[in-house]
Amino acid sequence: MAKTTPPVKLNETVTLTIDRIRQNGMGLAWANDAKTYPVYIANTMLGEVVDVQIIQVDKLSAYGALKNVLKANPERIDAKRDYLLEAGTAPLVNWAYPAQKKWKQSLVKDNFAAAGLTVQVAEAVTMDEQVPSYYRNKTVVPVKWQGGQLQSGFYQRGTHQLVPMVDYFVNDRRLDEVIVVVRNLLEKLAISAYDPDTGQGAIRYIMVRRGYYSKELMVILVSNEPTLPKQEEVVRAIVSELPDLTSLILNKAPKKDYVQLSADNETLYGKDQIEDTLLGKRFLIGPNSFYQVNPVMTEKLYQTAADLAKLKSTDLVVDAYAGIGTIGMSVADRVKQVIGVEVVPGAVADAQKNLALNGITNATYILKDAPEQFVEWQEAGVQPDVVFVDPPRRGLTPELIEKTASMEPDRVVYVSCNPVTAARDCALFKKVGYEIAGPIVPVDQFPQTAHIETVTVLKKKG
């Protein structure tokens, strides 16, 4: 076989034109006339002509670092936050917000087209702010001793070098303040931090959650070791410095287990959970609870899903991938009954607590894998009017789609955080007798990033 020579060399600087924007927000430019060898470049926009230094090369593609913009997209801005680009936490930060919205709308349409579906896509539902920022109610930040100091921030793409940060731009400002306070206290007490090069050290992450309405504050120290060094001193110092602290948790998650957060939590101070409100309902939130991170947009997301579902007071609703019950409980007062299913034991326990907390009597949550439960419901003659699905990024399984169709609901409301898998799954729903009804509605839960939520309603063909 003839040896293939890449058209670019490591460390050389080349001038390229951005041909498209990839799913992750990075620009793609072709390094050869045949358009067979792509170069991927962060912090670029469609149509821009850029000078790029090649930083990684293989047979099929290369990565480049932006050196100079020769011809800028008219919607490029300078947010003066290049450290966010270095860590990849806000890849669209130099895009004017209207450009972000427009690209995300086109991204959804392109993903569905790639799955063989021609769809209408509505304009994205967004936050009211002109430059949406400081919205996240949860953050997980790595810490590392670097240059003689305990640093917090995010790792530079593909390296073990921590990019120090104090302003994350997308977090609730109080979260950023708390990260710095806790990090400084750990540094003062000389607490070891996990080092990915040596595999040694105690603290891996500082995690913070805060109630948007309640203002209750939870700090979680994620540890590589089963015990926290100088635990009494650490607890005393943190409690003293954070007057709004509601809960301090030690999460024991050794790196060898390859999980960011384990289920092994020890409450060091205060409550095991914090509480917040969503669409008028109260929810208990623990360290491991799945709870959407943009509270303002979560209310808009669930309201959009409920409105598009055209719910009736006689409806039986199934809430699949129910988590702690947020979607089902948010619509419970609009329908006859909600039955939810979730495979994570802790989430079901939380959902049951949340039912009691809100005095909801027409909803039930069951611990089981959804496809299995759907078979049991079908055998029992259960026929829902509406099925809500809100899966993780990997989307639905073909089995779940098949079992959903076998229950013959009138409508399926698909809430997705990944338009690639949403499009794939909607194509499978089409094969089992469901068609997309009305436009797909993007909901921008994550401004400044490449992520977009979508709400798609599928209706049973007559």
The beta strand positions in 281-421, using DSSP E, are 281-285, 316-320, 337-342, 363-367, 386-389, 411-416
Burial class (CB in 10 A: 0-12, 13-18, 19+), 394: exposed
Strands 62-71 and 38-41 come out as: parallel
Cα(459)–Cα(462) distance, integer angstroms? 9
Among 413, 417, 428, 450, the one annotated catalytic? 417
Cα(166)–Cα(350) distance, integer angstroms? 33
Cα(396)–Cα(321) distance, integer angstroms? 10
Say if residues 154 and 165 touch (Cβ distance below 8 Å): yes
Cα(337)–Cα(317) distance, integer angstroms? 6
Say if residues 179 and 217 touch (Cβ distance below 8 Å): no
Cα(453)–Cα(180) distance, integer angstroms? 30
Least Cα distance to 123 among 100, 140, 89, 144 occurs for 100
What's the N-to-C CA distance of the chain in angstroms? 56
Cβ atoms within 10 A of the Cβ of 182, count? 25
Cα(399)–Cα(432) distance, integer angstroms? 11
Cβ atoms within 10 A of the Cβ of 341, count? 24
Check if 417 is active-site. yes
Q: Which residues are catalytic?
A: 417
